[in-house]
Amino acid sequence: MLRDLNKFLISCSKGVQDDLISTKFVLAMTTETTVFDFKISNTFTKWSEVFDGSEYLSILNESGITPLYRGVNKDDSQRVIVIFQGEEGVALKLFTNPKGKEIIEASGHIYDSTTISQWKPEDIQPKKSNKLLISGIFIALTSTFLLIYLLRENLFNLI
């Protein structure tokens, strides 16, 4: 019976370790935020009809790029900013692709006016307090599973 309990606790521990490893993997992926600042030759409304169109959004989706923000400059209605997030280098690669350039220019985006800046977070290291929190959660879960196991096996005399 104790051997079964030990196996049970080890399997619970393994699941938590797997979750922590996968979390570290996600944090280790390089995500980049890319900011495009550019001029348009038409109105923001006309430009955004292409940007918000299913063809363009499909291309972004297939590339793993998420549009975070788009807006027009409050002092210059011909100036637009777009902020994307995705895997490092993908937004820039899409922008410099000749087929992508055709779609971009068809929207009224003045290609040669574009200023691009790329941003990435610093290396993310879990804080000590996060490690303590995760350890505390693991201990609480382990205790709960132990209690459930003992109750299920009628090892407590509850009268």
Residues 9-32: tens digit of each pLDDT: 455 555 544 444 444 444 445 899
Asked whether the predicted pLDDT for residue 49 surpasses 80, the reply is: yes
What residue ranges do the domains of the chain occupy?
A: 2-27+123-152, 31-119
Asked whether the predicted pLDDT for residue 151 surpasses 90, the reply is: no
Name every residue whose Cβ is closer than 8 Å to that of residue 122 and which is 6 or more positions away in sequence.
none
Residues 84-95: tens digit of each pLDDT: 999 999 999 999
Give yes or no for a contact between 125 and 67, defined as CB atoms under 8 angstroms apart: no
Whether this model's pTM surpasses 0.85: no
Reduced to 3 states, what is the DSSP secondary structure of residue 71?
Answer: strand
CA dist list (Å): 57 to 15, 74, 84: 37, 25, 12
Give the right CATH number for 31-119 from 3.30.70.100, 3.30.565.10, 2.60.120.10, 3.40.50.1970.
Answer: 3.30.70.100
Question: What is the DSSP secondary structure assignment for residue 123, as one 8-state letter?
Answer: P
Residue of 38, 33, 26 lying closest to 65 (CA atoms): 33
Q: Is the dihedral of CA 45, 49, 52, 57 positive or negative?
A: negative
Asked whether the predicted pLDDT for residue 69 surpasses 50, the reply is: yes
> 72 phi and psi, to 5 degrees?
-105, 145
